[in-house]
Structure 1
């Protein structure tokens, strides 16, 4: 005898079937675990330098000092996801990573003094830096931009900077670009961190903060700055982000580039950016090719 299913029964069956279908497809937008690299450089643990105060890229809570550096916990952001993926590809689980504070003024020194094994801290690849350290990557292409107060209607782009006071963290390509392009036309303030620059902007002590657009977008998206600050969206330089490693680490560079290629190919790169940066409204660009 054929029993006719009720509308509620049919609805329940459909819901279960849809759930099974979605489960079979896997969770969209997840950062996956990489396949370990065969013959990878042997690490039992890794010390990785990141920014502790760049929303969307790298943030962490300081927990104390060890071996002359500040270490932290609860690290999160795109750089953190990227570093964790690389570590796992090298055979190091997330719990064996020590997160070290790497402000722009300290990045090369941390690598040269063997205080860290890697640095992922919105670290632009430049020829000058390559004389002191090696880079893997790039793994992201940012563009220098300006963060201004929302009610500043006169500062509409880089061509309106004359006579203004800008803020950029010391030892960054952002500061170097301002000094080379606008020498004599603008005053430049250079504290150690961009979070300090943003505080000075809100207080009215500087007219704009200049650094990579993705960093500025992270600050503008913070609850305390929504409706207060805005990114102009007129990038005026290319900033390829790389992973800093000690000089002479050719094999490690090749292995990291292999991990980055998988990171991009398996969707983890995009998933991390969508989760960490996407909510700010920042338009995620196409990925670069590691090693080029």
Structure 2
């Protein structure tokens, strides 16, 4: 009798173990392939950069949003399975290392320092530091013409300082809290030029409120290779690279460029080859 009791108890334990294992298998099966779970993928973008990544009353818009949506589609996720998460510049590496996001497409320039912390797919866009000036400004034709001009960038940015140190030592640096504030100053002639990446400038200038009022200088003062950041060692890198190649080959990449930057007359570089980092 005692032996039968032990055997019965063992059977119960075994049954419970099998049930728990089965439940665990079901949970794993339901997880998204990127590890975010629940058939969803979490993508980090900017929420405040028109033309690049912006949260609007209608949803999310911008070149990075279009690229990320296409990539997610190739990874097996429909648009309604994408969870968009704001990732500010200073938090991008931490967001990836913590697993807060599966990948980041947020005007994320590939640099040696960042490559020590995260992996990058791409590049998917070659941008350049440039200036935005008033459409009727005929005086600023080269970086040296910024000498004695009021040059604006956002507080904490190194863009204006780089121009001052390397190209226009007599430029009068002005720091505003946001790019929108710089644009208002440019429109009101409180400043003469705004500087940051040309893709970002084109995005702002393409807004309906500013259409036809500004133009890009076309100076190409630096090379900014935008990549899609993933956690170090993630197998997503290769899959995203394959998706980016498909986006270029089927014409979707150029359509996204024209849609988001076209109104500003942005003369984009050809789509970069995967792994080709222009220094």
- Per the normalisation by structure 2, the TM-score is 0.74
Instruction: Please state how far the C-alpha of 1:193 moved relative to its aligned partner.
Output: 4.5
- Give matches, 1:1-292, under 5 Å: 41-43=34-36, 44-61=39-56, 74-169=59-154, 174=159, 177-178=162-163, 181=166, 185-189=170-174, 193-246=178-231, 248-292=232-276
Q: Tell me the distance in 1 between the aligned counterparts of 2:169 and 2:183.
A: 23
CA contact (8 A) 1:278 1:284 kept: no
Mapped to 2, the partners of 1:115 and 1:188 lie a distance apart of: 37
Give the Cα–Cα distance (whole angstroms) in 2 for the partners of residues 192 and 244 of structure 1: 27
Q: Per-residue deviation at 1:169?
A: 4.1
Deviations 1:6-45 (A, max 9, x none): xxxxxxxxxxxxxxxxxxxxxxxxxxxxxxxxxx645532
Contact 2:130–2:196 under 8 Å retained in 1: yes
Of the structure 1 ranges 121-130 and 272-281, higher mean CA displacement relative to structure 2 is found in 272-281
8 Å Cα contact 1:104/1:193 also seen in 2: no
Q: Retained in 2: the 8 A contact 1:57–1:215?
A: yes
SS in 1 for 2:44: strand
Q: Distance between the aligned counterparts of 1:275 and 1:133, measured in 2? A: 30
Give distance in 1, aligned partners of 2:72 and 2:176.
31
Alpha-carbon spacing, 1:208–1:94, altered in 2? closer, same or farther (3 Å): same
For the residues of structure 1 that align with 2:265 and 2:257, how far apart are their CA atoms? 11
Do the aligned partners of 1:162 and 1:186 also contact (CA within 8 Å) in 2? yes
Q: How much has 1:165 moved relative to structure 2? A: 3.7
Greater C-alpha radius of gyration: 2
The alpha-carbon deviation at position 95 of structure 1 amounts to 0.8
Structure with more of its chain in helix, by fraction? 2
Moved more, 136-145 or 111-120: 111-120
Q: Is residue 164–residue 170 contact of structure 2 (8 Å, CA) maintained in 1?
A: no
SS at match of 1:277: helix
Indicate if the aligned counterparts of 1:170 and 1:191 stay in contact, CA closer than 8 A: yes
Instruction: Determine the C-alpha separation between the residues in 2 that align with 1:108 and 1:202.
Output: 35
Q: What is the TM-score normalised by the length of structure 1?
A: 0.71
- 2:12 matched residue in structure 1: none
Please list the CA deviations of residues 83-128 of structure 1 after superposition, one character each: whole Å capped at 9, or x if unmatched. Answer: 0111122222211212222333433343344332222122211112
Q: Tell me, yes or no, if the aligned pair for 1:146 and 1:232 is still in contact at 8 Å.
A: yes
* RMSD between aligned residues: 2.9
What 5-or-longer segments of structure 2 have no aligned partner?
1-32
CA distance 1:279–1:182, change in 2 (3 Å): closer
Tell me which moved more, 193-202 or 249-258. 193-202
Instruction: Evaluate the alpha carbon distance shift between residue 192 and residue 112 of structure 1 in structure 2; reply closer, same or farther with a 3 A threshold.
Output: farther
Q: Distance in 1 between matches of 2:247 and 2:229?
A: 17
